Structure 1
């Protein structure tokens, strides 16, 4: 059976606000066949690119291409050579805040979902800004200041759009807009993919389809030719016992029917009162952070593997060990 890289983060030992939640980025390689895992990378961002107090440090959604992994932290872009996981490039500019996804472009640049500033940035491998798009179509700097170092700003919430994934259809660049529950074309005006119903993540192109996740455990498949939804799948109905699945984000397409999806929960923290009473903080009663493989056509959960025992408490993206292209 195939092995998979999971990109995410380790939670701190207390419950914090979401922009203070995680203490390091993690990449693990899992083998679902025997439920084993090995830790490939642990990463902590340097202080000069983080807020001064209680920063959150995690890896976010990455892209594997040509034996390299392109991945973001909250305020950096890192490029690793594979399979050794050696850092070959590290970039950070003052406008980076709450990065959610990185992918290389055909032109040799990087496309970055800079979520905290509601924009997508095209950046050269030398750290020069090539293009900036506000995903709502506004001037990128109407709300924000070019003189502020946003790497030092703990959060810019509430966001107006919260773009969290970048993908391409042909030569056109698209971004998911979590709060609008859609995806928008950045290179051609007035082109959108309307998903609706619930907050979205991902936007993975596979053949003639685009696969999106929704945070409450749904997968939505869009026809790339007419940009219309052709299938919606409720993973809650395919999973037993009927316990809340967790935050659904990260999807690996095996074939048109079979997918691996990531689920994240806030790790529960046990509190014992002076009188001996026990209470919980976090998502007690929600299934653990894990990956799960579904046959969408048959409506069936095939297997799952929890990763909390390997110190991973958040999942952003899932990649095949032998994945190579875009």
Structure 2
């Protein structure tokens, strides 16, 4: 099985002011005979100056043809899988803390977490329209048209904090981290995840839509809207397994990326760390979940010192 991780390498002590993203990375991996190997890494150090220096990371990604499209704090990049070269495709002054990108065959949807917006672009990266998820959710917060938000380290607290966009049943959907749900702005349909945690990432399959929550639960919403869940903390018998992020599905297995809980401008991450136990010895990892038996069947740990600061934003088959 071949897949890649989009994320960043961080530096500094966890929860310290010095903690920062040193660079973004795409890390290509293979999983054979229960052995995880990182076969190649492609480093991205932002040459544009269009982001604060401590926000040099790669976040959500999607594969289209022979390219990986990935978001940074303030840009959309294209990585050519043939050449291994990055190319900036889009950036403008409303981008702040982009978390994800998805493609439905003719347009891209981009989650602008910092401003509670979803931007839609055509396949030539021309901006088509913008959806104000904050206003749709009842926020009265107004962002200035005179500010270049690409240079603002944080706009927290967020009213919605949208992380993940996805195309399902011929409509765009988006997760709302604060409200703990996923909504379809076109129809108004909502899937409530309050019993399971705050959604971060997801993937659409023939089974339905799978989501991760930062608290460590995998949620499947089936086409008939029945929900099935797997609490990975209960299944592993642990109070702490990290911050749940990316997910990919391979046959009857789910692979979920967990990141060492990071410093946040708000106290949210630290509160979760205290509530769920110490994270001082926790390393980023991928858990393998058997979707049939409901058991965690393997765990792949990035355990050496270099990888302890790896932030896993997304896992994607290719």
Both structures adopt the same fold (TM-score exceeding 0.5)? yes
Are the aligned partners of 1:60 and 1:72 in contact in 2 as well (CA < 8 Å)? Answer: yes
CA distance in 2, matches of 1:207, 1:90: 31
Q: In structure 2, what is the Cα distance between the partners aligned to 1:266 and 1:223?
A: 30
Name the structure 2 match of 1:317.
Answer: 314
| Deviation for aligned residue 1:111 | 1.1
What is the CA distance between 1:139 and its match in structure 2? 9.6
Would the aligned equivalents of 2:10 and 2:19 in 1 still touch at CA under 8 Å?
no
Contact 1:118 1:163 in 2 (8 A): yes
Aligned to 2:275: none
Separation in 1, partners of 2:138, 2:18: 26
From the superposition, tell whether residues 18 and 59 of structure 1 become closer, same or farther in structure 2 (CA, over 3 Å): farther
Give the C-alpha shift of residue 293 in structure 1.
1.0
Taking only aligned residues, the RMSD between alpha carbons, in angstroms, comes to: 2.6
Alpha-carbon contact 1:92-1:127 (below 8 Å) kept: no
The 3 A distance-change label for structure 1 pair 299 and 228 is: closer
Within a 5 Å distance, the mapping from 1:189-228 to structure 2 comes to 190-197=188-195, 198-224=197-223, 226-228=224-226
Change (3 A) 1:138 1:247: closer
Q: For 1:6 and 1:193, locate their aligned partners in 2 and report how far apart those are by CA, in whole Å.
A: 27
Given candidates 255, 258, 272, the residue that maps to 1:260 is 255
Structure 1 or 2, whichever has the larger Rg, is 1
Does structure 1 residue 301 correspond to structure 2 residue 289? no
SS of 2:221 mapped into structure 1 = strand
Taking a change above 3 Å as real, the CA distance of residues 132 and 158 of structure 1, as seen in their structure-2 partners, is same
Q: CA deviation at 1:305?
A: 1.8
Normalised by the size of structure 2, how large is the TM-score? 0.85
Work out which of the residue numbers 225, 241, 245 in structure 2 matches 1:245.
Answer: 241
Secondary structure, aligned partner of 1:60: strand
Instruction: Output the CA distance in 2 between the equivalents of 1:91 and 1:141.
Output: 28
SS at match of 1:238: helix
Q: 1:30 to 1:126 in 2, by over 3 A?
A: closer
Q: Is the 1:194–1:228 contact (alpha carbons within 8 Å) kept by the matching residues of 2?
A: no
Query: 2:69, 2:257 → 1: CA distance?
Result: 19
**C-alpha deviation, 1:236, in angstroms:** 1.5
Shift of 1:144: 0.8
- Deviation at residue 169 of structure 1 after TM alignment: 1.1
Distance 1:14 1:140, change over 3 A: same
Q: What's the CA shift string for 1:143-173, capped at 9, x where partnerless?
A: 1122210001110000000000010113211
For the residue of structure 2 that corresponds to 1:90, the secondary structure is strand
State the shift of 1:142 in Å.
Answer: 5.5
Task: Please give the TM-score of this superposition, normalised by the length of structure 1.
Answer: 0.83
Question: For structure 1, which runs of at least 5 residues remain unmatched after alignment?
Answer: 269-281
Hey, what does 1:275 align to over in structure 2? none
In the alignment, the residues of structure 1 paired with residue 54 and residue 140 of structure 2 have an alpha-carbon distance, to the nearest angstrom, of 24
Between the aligned partners of 2:18 and 2:239, the Cα distance in structure 1 is 26
1:126 is displaced (CA, Å) by: 5.2
In 2, Cα distance between the equivalents of 1:124 and 1:40? 29
Deviations 1:149-200 (A, max 9, x none): 0001110000000000010113211101111111111223x21111213111
**Which ranges in structure 2 are unaligned for 5 or more consecutive residues?**
264-277
Structure 1: distance between partners of 2:18 and 2:111: 16
8 Å contact from structure 1 (residues 59, 72) kept in 2: yes
Deviation at 1:203, TM superposition (A): 2.8
Query: Which residue of structure 1 aligns with residue 133 of structure 2?
Result: 135
Q: Deviations over 1:257-283 (max 9, x none)?
A: 410000000489xxxxxxxxxxxxx93
The 10-residue stretch of structure 1 (295-304 or 81-90) with the greater mean CA deviation from structure 2: 81-90
Aligned residues: 298
